[in-house]
Amino acid sequence: EERSYNDLWRTLPRSKDGTKASETDLGMAERKKTLNLPEENLLYFLEKNSLVLEPWQREIIRIVRVVAQYFYPQRQTQVMNEGCATFVHYTLMNMLFDRGQITEGAMLEILRNHSNVIFQPAFDDPRFSGINPYALGLDMMQDIQRISTEPTAEDRDWFPDIAGNGNWRETLLDAWANHRDESFIRQYLSPALMRKWRFFILADAASEPHYEVASIHNERGYEKIRAGLAHSYDIGASRPDIQVVDVDLLGDRQLRLEHKVKNGIVLEEASRDATLRHIRRLWGYEVSLAAIDAQTGGTLNERSTSQIGE
């Protein structure tokens, strides 16, 4: 019925006066103003505006949304949180052992658990293929401790403010208080640690058939590697930007979403379609997702739940 209504008005001729906004444009602008669109918090929009949800269902969505919002900032400090916890635990246990307050048996058990926590899987390990935040965080904390107490000439060139200051505790406290993962790595990742981890950068331009090793852990590559690794921990850059941009509640009620595509990275098709099906279930009507190039504003592709099976 809603589609019939929309199709009827679609047959009306458009205004010949290009200087005047059409009724469609005015209606869209009014809808966006009323619904406060665009809206980047999809769960919030569904909770407030879905036409099919029962009150208890809205409450569940609200709970999920609030919990997700609570944990969102913690994803920006994963390396620092896990690294801090591991570093403090490892340092305290060793201090207690050196003072004779922990037995050798207890220390062996602690070291076994510690080794399991900081284990770094290979790149093709089916369990996990990313960088272990516990391992990277611990190494960076210990490296800051080393730079503060026993710096090399290279350390003095890269970290003149902290190299040899002798106060690693204050240096770490300042880092913990004032940085998140992205800025922490950009500020404190040292060439020595890049060599230890054998970091390198792969360039994967869509126009090229092969990967290219763009930078390695040498004098020419240190800055690019550090900047690239830091960028990978920037939540705003790594998470897809998807927003609700329009919905005609008096017409077909189709929910229209937009994905701002950065650097040509589009959504994985199977995951995208599955997510659209879930959104349709919560919204109650058709849902469409348009991929928009963030630089040019051009539409790359558009997918609707009407094209997807159940």
Residue type, 99: R
Examine the pLDDT at 119 and tell me if it is beyond 50.
Answer: yes
Tens-digit pLDDT profile for residues 143-187: 999 999 999 999 999 999 999 999 999 999 999 999 999 999 999
- Give the mean model confidence (pLDDT) for residues 200-204: 87
d(CA 185, CA 131): 13
Residue 240 contacts by C-beta under 8 Å, 6 or more apart in sequence? 259, 267
**pLDDT > 70 in the chain, percent:** 91
Regarding predicted confidence, which is higher, 250 or 112?
Answer: 112
Tens-digit pLDDT profile for residues 179-188: 999 999 999 9
Identify the pLDDT of residue 51: 87
Where do the structural domains in the chain lie, given as residue ranges? 24-71+240-307, 75-121+130-236
Identify the pLDDT of residue 133: 95
How many Cα atoms occupy the beta-carbon half-sphere of 269 within 13 Å?
A: 5
Q: How do strand 255-261 and strand 287-293 relate by DSSP bridges?
A: parallel
d(CA 231, CA 88): 26
Residue 284 contacts by C-beta under 8 Å, 6 or more apart in sequence? 50, 51, 52, 53, 253
- Is 213 within 8 Å of 202 (Cβ atoms)? yes
Q: Which of 78, 171, 172, 170 is nearest to 131 (CA)?
A: 78
Q: Which pLDDT band, with edges at 50, 70 and 90, does 117 fall under?
A: very high
Identify the pLDDT of residue 14: 56
Would the pTM count as exceeding 0.85? no
